[in-house]
């Protein structure tokens, strides 16, 4: 196996998260079953010898899955995963320990765990690596109902006139694209750099879009695969802060005169991405703190008739807030 770059290792870790989570759960089950099988062991509702053997076999499969990526599983309890890499010409192991929120440590190969140091704050991230990060989220993305609320708010602001062509940028699992169907558009082009996200969207489309109004495409967001003046409406739910100011200019290019754009942005004070996702946030777009800040972003890009609403959604432990922006191409 070859060496990982830091972004590649972080993307691979994101893809491995479901495997590692299952490893942790099965490890506990296997330990409880093993204890119950000993003389005088406590009874367990998990089963007996057959279940213990099944757990062991599954653990072996999961550990093999980790090793096949090129990562090295160095510890089992707690889990310790190393990714061979090179930093400044030195052979190192990028080191993830169970409980770490992200891959943010490394050590020289000759020093071992005791030589762990924090990784540099910023690394160069390619589009391929960014796609890998979002691939890792795809299977569970729709568990967060907040995305649907943002999508509905974006579609609400486009007006009631049926657009002939809608472009949904960074569609994810297609939440905004599906919401746009209630406007009865002629067609919707939904694009995302993540094949995993698009695959999830296409599975839902069998029931959510039986008329096949939506075309799904793995594609770069900037520039979008739409000709000049080729769209009546553009949607972008919770992704502009990963695309940068260039996306606003591209939407102005892609919209016909009079076309509408709807996008959302998190509040600067509330945006706390993980280290992996912080690395893909461009520096050319300043997140807004007020409605006026959000409106200014659209106006500076050349849009008119800018409106901004703050959407606050209370969950069990916090209030999540975004600015929902709508504007028109002159």
133's tokens: 């990060």
How many other CB atoms are there within 10 angstroms of residue 20's CB atom? 18
Which of the four pLDDT bands, split at 50, 70 and 90, describes residue 327?
Answer: very high
Give the pLDDT confidence of 130-144 residue by residue, as tens digits. Answer: 888 898 889 999 998
The pLDDT of residue 228 is 93
Residue 325 lies in a domain: yes
Q: Which of 11, 12, 27, 14 is nearest to 75 (CA)?
A: 27
Q: Indicate if 136 and 91 belong to the same structural domain.
A: no
Which of the four pLDDT bands, split at 50, 70 and 90, describes residue 14?
Answer: confident
Q: Indicate if 165 and 272 belong to the same structural domain.
A: yes
Which of the four pLDDT bands, split at 50, 70 and 90, describes residue 19?
Answer: very high
Q: Indicate if 140 and 286 belong to the same structural domain.
A: yes
The pLDDT of residue 1 is 58
Domain stop point among 61, 93, 118: 118
Q: Indicate if 69 and 149 belong to the same structural domain.
A: no
Percentage of the chain exceeding pLDDT 70: 98
Domain stop point among 82, 97, 118: 118
Q: Indicate if 176 and 262 belong to the same structural domain.
A: yes
172 φψ region: left (φ > 0), alpha (ψ -120 to 50), beta (else): left
Domain of 215, CATH number, reads: 3.40.50.150
Domain stop point among 88, 118, 148: 118
Contact 107, 92 (CB under 8 A): yes
Residue 1 lies in a domain: no
Q: Indicate if 114 and 167 belong to the same structural domain.
A: no
Higher pLDDT, 127 or 321: 321
Query: Mean pLDDT across the chain, nearest whole number?
Result: 91
Q: Indicate if 80 and 207 belong to the same structural domain.
A: no
Q: Indicate if 114 and 144 belong to the same structural domain.
A: no
Instruction: Write out the residue range of the structural domain in which residue 82 sits.
Output: 6-118
Residue 215 lies in a domain: yes
Q: Indicate if 207 and 93 belong to the same structural domain.
A: no
Give the pLDDT confidence of 232-257 residue by residue, as tens digits. Answer: 999 999 999 999 998 999 999 999 99
Give the pLDDT confidence of 28-60 residue by residue, as tens digits. Answer: 999 999 999 999 889 999 999 999 999 999 999
Q: How far apart are CA 201 and CA 174, in angstroms?
A: 5
Q: DSSP letters along 140-188, please?
A: TGGG-THHHHHHHHHHHTT-SSPPSEEEEET-TTTHHHHHHGGG--SEE
Is residue 200 packed enough to be buried (19+ CB in 10 Å), middle (13-18) or exposed (0-12)? Answer: buried
Q: Indicate if 168 and 299 belong to the same structural domain.
A: yes
**Could you tell me the sign of the dihedral formed by the alpha carbons of 278, 138, 226, 293, in that order?**
negative
Residue 284 has pLDDT above 80, yes or no: yes
Residue 229 lies in a domain: yes
Largest separation between any pair of C-alpha atoms in the chain: 80
Region 79-107: what's the mean pLDDT?
91
Q: Indicate if 146 and 102 belong to the same structural domain.
A: no
Residue 280 has pLDDT above 70, yes or no: yes
Percentage of the chain exceeding pLDDT 90: 72
Q: Where are the beta strands (DSSP E) in the chain?
A: 72-76, 79-87, 90-97, 105-108, 117-118, 165-169, 187-192, 214-218, 231-236, 255-266, 304-314, 319-328
Number of domains in the chain: 2
Region 153-182: what's the mean pLDDT?
94
How many other CB atoms are there within 10 angstroms of residue 121's CB atom? 9
Residue 59 lies in a domain: yes
Is residue 156 packed enough to be buried (19+ CB in 10 Å), middle (13-18) or exposed (0-12)? Answer: middle
The pLDDT of residue 130 is 82
Q: Indicate if 109 and 132 belong to the same structural domain.
A: no
Residue 123 has pLDDT above 90, yes or no: no
């Amino acid at each position: 196996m070859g060496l990982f770059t830091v972004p590649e290792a972080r993307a691979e870790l994101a893809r491995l998260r479901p495997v590692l989570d299952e490893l942790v759960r099965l490890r506990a089950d296997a330990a409880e079953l093993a204890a119950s099988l000993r003389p005088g062991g406590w009874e367990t509702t998990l089963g007996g010898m057959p279940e213990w053997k099944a757990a062991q076999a599954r653990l072996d499969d999961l550990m093999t899955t980790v090793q096949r990526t090129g990562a090295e599983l160095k510890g089992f309890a707690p889990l310790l995963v190393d990714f061979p890499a090179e930093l400044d010409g030195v052979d190192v192991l990028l080191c993830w320990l169970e409980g770490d929120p992200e891959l943010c440590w490394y050590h020289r190969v000759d020093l071992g765990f005791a030589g762990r140091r924090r990784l540099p704050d910023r690394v160069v991230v390619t589009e391929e690596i960014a796609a890998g990060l979002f691939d890792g989220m795809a299977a569970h993305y729709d568990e967060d109902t907040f995305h649907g609320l943002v999508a509905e708010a974006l579609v609400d602001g486009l007006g009631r006139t049926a657009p002939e062509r809608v472009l949904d940028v960074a569609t994810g699992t297609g939440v905004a694209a599906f919401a746009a169907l209630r406007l009865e558009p002629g067609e919707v082009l939904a694009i995302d750099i993540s094949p995993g996200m698009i695959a999830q969207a296409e599975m839902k489309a069998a029931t959510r879009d039986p008329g096949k109004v939506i075309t799904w495409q793995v594609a770069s967001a900037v520039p979008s695969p739409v000709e000049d003046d080729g769209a009546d409406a553009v949607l972008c739910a919770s992704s502009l802060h990963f695309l940068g100011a260039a996306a606003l200019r591209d939407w102005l290019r892609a919209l016909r005169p009079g076309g509408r754009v709807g996008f959302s942005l998190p509040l600067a004070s509330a945006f706390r991405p993980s280290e992996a996702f912080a690395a893909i946030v461009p520096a050319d777009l300043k997140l807004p703190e007020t409605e006026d800040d959000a409106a200014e972003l659209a106006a500076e890009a050349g849009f008119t008739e800018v409106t901004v609403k703050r959407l606050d959604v209370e969950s069990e432990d916090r209030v999540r807030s975004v600015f929902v922006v709508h504007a028109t191409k002159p």
